[in-house]
Amino acid sequence: MTDTGDRLNTIFASIFGDEASSLSASDGITTVAAWDSASQLDLIMAIEAEFEVYFEVAELSELTSVGAIRNRLLQLRD
C-alpha cells in the first residue's frame, strides 16, 4: 500500500497543489481548500488513469476523502 499511497499523493499534489502532498486518511473535500466539486472529478479521472480502474457514475461524487478512495482502490484490486 505504500506504493499506492505514494502514487495517490503525487496525484493529490498535481490536482490540489503541493500542500496536498501528504494527506491523512481523514482529509478530503471538507479539509483541503482546493478540493471542490470540480476538482473532485479531475481527481477521480486521474486516479482512474493512474490505477487503470473504472468508477461507476455514483461513485464519482462519493469518493470524497483520502480514506474512502484508498479503501475503494483496495477493493477494486482484490
Asked if 60 touches other proteins (CB under 8 A), the answer is yes
Residue 66's SS3 state is: helix
CA distance linking residue 47 with residue 5, whole number of Å: 12
Q: In the structure grid, which three cell numbers stand for residue 9, read together?
A: 499523493
CA angle, corner 59, sides to 7 and 67, nearest 5?
A: 45
With contacts defined by CB under 8 A, name the span among 25-33, 46-54, 64-72 that binds other proteins.
46-54
**In the complex, least distance from residue 78 CB atom to other proteins, rounded to whole angstroms:** 23
Q: Write out the residues near other proteins by the rule CB under 8 A.
A: 11, 13-15, 17, 37-39, 41-42, 45-46, 49-50, 55, 57, 60-61
